[in-house]
């Protein structure tokens, strides 16, 4: 499996785990060729801080099961925007109003969207 394939697979694993933890408005942006920061952004919403923390923990467990570990996690103490950095994949977990305020979807909305729901 190529690095590109493994990054895409990890992004899908993260999106599916967010969905399993009842995340909402989940989108995976393919940023290859558009950003030097990451190849994929996974963005999801939760209804409260406790749910966001549970999603973050679930994503860390699911990614570890896929052989990947986050190199950095930010925002667990505040809990309204949690970021999990896997290098080529960055996961953003937001409360809805925080997601709207920061507008990452507006910033990256022209990027191709990965169909992570396929084969569920």
* Phi, psi angles (nearest 5°) of residue 32: -60, 130
Cα 92 from Cα 46, distance rounded (Å): 11
What CATH number does the domain located at 3-108 have? Answer: 3.30.460.10
* Phi, psi angles (nearest 5°) of residue 12: -70, -40
Pairing of strands 72-74, 81-85: antiparallel
Contact yes or no for 91/59 (Cβ under 8 A): yes
pLDDT in tens, 64-94: 988 999 999 999 998 899 999 999 999 999 9
At residue 30, the pLDDT reads 96
Pairing of strands 89-95, 81-85: antiparallel
Round the average pLDDT of the chain to a whole number and report it: 93
At residue 2, the pLDDT reads 72
pTM check: above 0.75: yes
Q: Hey, where are the domains in the chain? A: 3-108
Contact yes or no for 89/10 (Cβ under 8 A): yes
pLDDT in tens, 22-41: 999 999 999 999 999 999 99
């Amino acid at each position: 499996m190529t690095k590109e394939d493994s990054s895409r697979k990890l992004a899908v694993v993260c999106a599916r785990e967010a969905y399993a933890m009842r995340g909402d408005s989940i989108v995976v942006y393919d940023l290859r060729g558009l950003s030097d920061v990451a190849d994929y952004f996974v963005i999801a919403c939760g209804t409260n801080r406790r749910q966001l923390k549970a999603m973050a923990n679930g994503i860390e467990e699911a990614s570890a099961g896929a052989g990947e570990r986050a190199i950095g996690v930010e925002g667990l103490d505040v809990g309204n925007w949690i970021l999990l950095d896997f290098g080529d994949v960055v996961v953003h977990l937001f409360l809805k109003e925080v997601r709207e305020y920061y507008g990452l979807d507006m910033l990256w909305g022209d990027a191709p969207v990965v169909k992570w729901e396929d084969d569920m």
